[in-house]
Chains A and B, each alone.
Chain A
Amino acid sequence: AQSVTQLGSHVSVSEGALVLLRCNYSSSVPPYLFWYVQYPNQGLQLLLKYTSAATLVKGINGFEAEFKKSETSFHLTKPSAHMSDAAEYFCAVSGTGANSKLTFGKGITLSVRP
């Protein structure tokens, strides 16, 4: 079985500050890991993915995440927050083949203060 834990439901940062959104996973097989962003009343947009290649993954809009197997973590970071980053962020894990469904964390709402 696979699961994802996103601690906290809300993170607030100042514009220009570092963004750090935490994600820990549990998986009995080598996982695929993803971060998605959701803006109000919209679908999910893929930010980045880890699929057993480089452990530091760069995504869109300046986001990146580092896969740490020893810590079972896949935290999302961005050096400098922008007002347009305000949204809900979901970490997800999947397997492969018939087990390729996504299991999501509960999501974190990011607010950016001017």
Chain B
Amino acid sequence: NAGVMQNPRHLVRRRGQEARLRCSPMKGHSHVYWYRQLPEEGLKFMVYLQKENIIDESGMPKERFSAEFPKEGPSILRIQQVVRGDSAAYFCASSDPGTGAEQYFGPGTRLTVT
């Protein structure tokens, strides 16, 4: 049973470019969460999605960041016009509320903005 998959594992972008981070949840999971880990700030929630719906985006920066979880395919976290402060590890987690409250995490995407 494959776990949560994220790609790419490492992503380098120059300032002003776009970054697209992908997350495939565990089989059978229909809920996806995105978190960001910064060295001095710890793990912070960004957004919670179900298929075709954004449930909670209270942690998303107001500009340049967006997320989707389409009916088919992976969830995408998109960062437009990246800046150096976007350099971080981005983790995706998935859950199946029908079987438990726990979230299972992917290996993360480490974004470096040069």
Give A contacts to B, CB under 8 Å: 32, 34, 36, 41-46, 49, 51, 90, 94, 96-107
Contact partners of B33 in chain A: CB under 8 A: 101-102
The total of chain B residues at the interface (CB under 8 A) is: 27
B residues 49-105 in Cβ contact with A at 8 Å: 55-56, 58-59, 91, 93, 95, 97, 100-105
A44-B91 CB under 8 A given contacts A98-B56, A99-B56, A102-B45 = yes
Q: Are B108 and A100 in contact (CB under 8 A)?
A: no
Task: Give chain A nearest CB distance to B1 CB in angstroms.
Answer: 15
Task: Give chain A nearest CB distance to B60 CB in angstroms.
Answer: 12
Q: How far is the CA of A61 from the CA of B38 in the complex (A)?
A: 27
Task: Give chain B nearest CB distance to A71 CB in angstroms.
Answer: 22
Main secondary structure of the interface of A (DSSP, over half): mixed
List 10 A-B pairs, Cβ < 8 Å. Answer: A43-B108, A44-B91, A44-B93, A44-B105, A46-B104, A51-B100, A90-B43, A100-B97, A101-B45, A101-B59
Q: Are A43 and B48 in contact (CB under 8 A)?
A: no
Q: Which of B58, B59, B102 contacts A49 (CB 8 A)?
A: B102
Q: Are B42 and A105 in contact (CB under 8 A)?
A: yes
Q: How far is the CA of A34 from the CA of B104 in the complex (A)?
A: 12
Q: Are B42 and A102 in contact (CB under 8 A)?
A: no
